[in-house]
Chains A and B, each alone.
Chain A
Amino acid sequence: MKILVTVKEVGTVEDEFDIEGTTIADRSLNVDLNEWDDYAIEEAVQLQEAGIADEVVAVTIGPEDCEQTIRQALAKGADRAIRVWDDAIADSDLLDVGAKTEILGAVVEDEAPDLVLTGVQADDDSFGATGVSVADAVGYEWAAVVNHLEREFDDAVSLRRELEGGVEELTTVELPAVLTIQTGINEPRYASLRGIRQAQRKELAVADLAELGIDEDTVEPTLELTEMYEPESESDVTVWEGGADDTASELAALLREKGVAQ
């Protein structure tokens, strides 16, 4: 069985940050592997270690800068990676779900995996919709927010979907399928030094839109990011100032007033 894992380098915002137009200033941004994708990679690698998958391929949409992050997937055990980038993508502030669907859908069609694992959402833009959209576009089955996968694959796979309020749904899904993976499904490994060294030698192919047979117009976003600002605080929070001893005793006084620990 072949597994394709979609991974994304996400921006993480510093405690103090500046907004420039409709983006966060570069100096206030760090980058990281999307948390949910880390669990998706781990699940794929575990299926490979269990002898269920023979190949794990990671795919990302991103500029050359993000190769460091993508190599984390290789260092953790993916066999090879594909990075898709194009000037037409670089021009847009916000790659919407439709554009991502075109791109990732083309890669799924090329690679024809039995299983595609994506994160439930990306930590930065949090659309949470790409996996299901890609599944529908390529005619695969799907399941969103999967937090347990049985290690038995036939024509179908049994899994659990995590609903709200501590309720899980038990579902079977026919293959091929796209599953969006929820945190907590496994314990993602750290990349070992050996893994990191090996990752340097693994294939990281780069493709542009033309190579995927995608017309530039089809990835033109239909959503336009028009504003970005810090949310207005709704509460009138009382902030205690001073050293830890001072603030702790303010809080202690409040707790005593509320009848706590008496």
Chain B
Amino acid sequence: MTDVLVVAEHRRGEVRDASYEVITAGRELAAETGGELHVAVISGTVDGFAEKCNRDGVDAVHTVDHGEEFNHGVYSQTVTKLFDELAPQYVLVPNSVNGLDYAPAVANRLGLPIVTDTIDLESDGDALTATREMYGGKVETTVALEGEAVVTIRGAEWPAAEGTGDATVESFDPEIDESALGSNVTGFEEVAGGDVDISDAEVLVSVGRGIDEEENLEIIRDLADALGATVSSSRPIVDNGWLPKNRQVGQSGKVVTPDVYIAIGISGAVQHVAGMKGSDTIVAINTDPNAPIMDIADYAIHDDLFDVVPALTAEFQ
């Protein structure tokens, strides 16, 4: 039987949406062989979180009342102990920044393989086949493993679990070795503020590494001016210091939902797409016809941005 343990994620008092998606992934896996679905909520206001995570198909929620926020030491100790107690086949965790800050430690402690950033899963109760991407999303691969495993789940690949389940809620009180907790969260800070809020924009002209040099941003600004649009970018442009952080679209930047998103010289890495896939109309200008951005674009031009962008600007002058 394929019992599954899902570890929910929360931050600053809120259960994060990724948790509900992982519950769906866990429910599907457990259902394939009639196994049980267990959910762990660790730290924070666990009773409230448990109520939220008690969605359709969840058999049991285990609450661990220890500390307020995420601490990877608490998480890795607790999940390891829950694994010993429940003996599930799979531990499923969001492929988030915090998921990746403790899931590998859990796998190491338990001597289990870890598969990260999965986009599809199948199990016959013993053999697991996981689908994931390589080379920046240019290829998809399947990997197979036998027995138990720790798996992290890519966001937005499974729908969020809904409905109310009839899970039993049990408190789990492992002895935490406080002397082994060598990291301590001291605060949080919002960093993407400033003059412009790109999430308000109706039209975004968004530029990526294909622009090559900072000076070349001029042609992007010209286009944005001509269109009355706002300039945004992928991460490397911000990493290079060419645009401020508040212009970055993506997982660690802003989520935007404009009417039109023009992605210029942007490959469409998953962390970028996470921030713009809700745009109404997506146009990609990219020399690479196989760039992953093409998978979500509505319109595309497979050509050099240095030819297309000035020509487009000229159309509006």
Number of A-B contacts (CB under 8 A): 266
Interface digits, B190-218 against A, CB 8 Å rule (1 contact, 0 not)? Answer: 11100000000001000000000000000
Residues of B within 8 A of A187 (CB): 240-241
Provided the pairs A126-B133, A237-B300, A247-B301 are in contact, do residues A142 and B72 lie with their beta carbons within 8 angstroms? yes
Indicate the member of A136, A233, A245, A259 with the most B CB atoms within 10 Å: A136
Q: Is residue A195 contacting chain B, with contact meaning CB distance below 8 A?
A: no
Kindly state the separation between the CA atoms of A51 and B295 in the bound complex, as whole angstroms: 48
Q: Assess whether A141 is in contact with B96, with CB atoms less than 8 Å apart.
A: no
Q: Is residue B115 contacting chain A, with contact meaning CB distance below 8 A?
A: yes
Q: Assess whether B236 is in contact with A183, with CB atoms less than 8 Å apart.
A: yes
Q: Is residue A260 contacting chain B, with contact meaning CB distance below 8 A?
A: yes
Provided the pairs A13-B138, A166-B253, A252-B315 are in contact, do residues A261 and B183 lie with their beta carbons within 8 angstroms? no
Instruction: Tell me which residues from 123 to 154 in chain B have a Cβ below 8 Å from any Cβ of chain A.
Output: 129, 132-146, 152
- Of A124, A163, A174, A231, the residue contacting B98 (CB under 8 A) is A163
* Residues on B facing A (Cβ under 8 Å): 11, 72, 76, 95-98, 100-105, 107-109, 113-117, 129, 132-146, 152, 182-192, 203, 226-229, 235-236, 238-241, 245, 251-255, 259-260, 281, 283-284, 287-290, 292, 294-304, 307-308, 311-312, 314-316
Q: Assess whether B113 is in contact with A240, with CB atoms less than 8 Å apart.
A: no
Residues of B within 8 A of A31 (CB): none
Kindly state the separation between the CA atoms of A228 and B135 in the bound complex, as whole angstroms: 11
Provided the pairs A15-B288, A173-B182 are in contact, do residues A244 and B294 lie with their beta carbons within 8 angstroms? no
- Of A171, A222, A229, A259, the residue contacting B140 (CB under 8 A) is A229
Provided the pairs A124-B134, A126-B133, A254-B299 are in contact, do residues A183 and B108 lie with their beta carbons within 8 angstroms? no
- Of A11, A12, A98, A163, the residue contacting B97 (CB under 8 A) is A163
Kindly state the separation between the CA atoms of A227 and B254 in the bound complex, as whole angstroms: 34
Provided the pairs A225-B143, A229-B139 are in contact, do residues A167 and B311 lie with their beta carbons within 8 angstroms? no
Q: Is residue A170 contacting chain B, with contact meaning CB distance below 8 A?
A: yes
Interface digits, A237-262 against B, CB 8 Å rule (1 contact, 0 not)? Answer: 11110011101110110110011110
Q: Assess whether B303 is in contact with A145, with CB atoms less than 8 Å apart.
A: no
Q: Is residue A60 contacting chain B, with contact meaning CB distance below 8 A?
A: no
Kindly state the separation between the CA atoms of A88 and B189 in the bound complex, as whole angstroms: 46
> What distance in Å separates the Cβ of B189 from its nearest Cβ neighbour in chain A?
5
Q: Assess whether A238 is in contact with B298, with CB atoms less than 8 Å apart.
A: yes
Can you report 27 residue pairs joining A to B where beta carbons are below 8 Å apart?
A: A15-B288, A19-B139, A97-B113, A101-B108, A126-B134, A129-B103, A131-B104, A132-B72, A144-B100, A161-B101, A164-B96, A165-B251, A166-B191, A168-B191, A171-B184, A172-B183, A184-B238, A223-B113, A225-B142, A230-B139, A235-B298, A247-B308, A251-B299, A251-B301, A252-B312, A260-B229, A261-B228
Q: Assess whether A260 is in contact with B227, with CB atoms less than 8 Å apart.
A: yes
- Of A125, A126, A171, A252, the residue contacting B316 (CB under 8 A) is A252
Provided the pairs A129-B116, A230-B139 are in contact, do residues A224 and B145 lie with their beta carbons within 8 angstroms? yes
Q: Is residue A79 contacting chain B, with contact meaning CB distance below 8 A?
A: no
Closest Cβ neighbor of A130 among chain B residues = B104
Q: Assess whether A223 is in contact with B252, with CB atoms less than 8 Å apart.
A: no
Q: Assess whether A97 is in contact with B135, with CB atoms less than 8 Å apart.
A: no
Residues of B within 8 A of A223 (CB): 113, 115, 143-145
Q: Assess whether A13 is in contact with B298, with CB atoms less than 8 Å apart.
A: no
> What distance in Å separates the Cβ of A55 from its nearest Cβ neighbour in chain B?
23
Q: Assess whether B316 is in contact with A170, with CB atoms less than 8 Å apart.
A: no
Residues of A within 8 A of B296 (CB): 234-235
- Of B182, B236, B254, B294, the residue contacting A237 (CB under 8 A) is B294
Kindly state the separation between the CA atoms of A231 and B138 in the bound complex, as whole angstroms: 7
Provided the pairs A174-B183, A234-B296, A238-B300 are in contact, do residues A133 and B104 lie with their beta carbons within 8 angstroms? yes
> What distance in Å separates the Cβ of A105 from its nearest Cβ neighbour in chain B?
9
Q: Assess whether A238 is in contact with B299, with CB atoms less than 8 Å apart.
A: yes
Residues of A within 8 A of B229 (CB): 260
Closest Cβ neighbor of B299 among chain A residues = A238
Q: Is residue A63 contacting chain B, with contact meaning CB distance below 8 A?
A: no
- Of A123, A133, A160, A254, the residue contacting B114 (CB under 8 A) is A133
Provided the pairs A235-B297, A238-B298 are in contact, do residues A174 and B182 lie with their beta carbons within 8 angstroms? yes
Q: Assess whether A13 is in contact with B108, with CB atoms less than 8 Å apart.
A: no
> What distance in Å separates the Cβ of A258 from its nearest Cβ neighbour in chain B?
6
Kindly state the separation between the CA atoms of A142 and B105 in the bound complex, as whole angstroms: 10
Q: Assess whether B259 is in contact with A124, with CB atoms less than 8 Å apart.
A: no
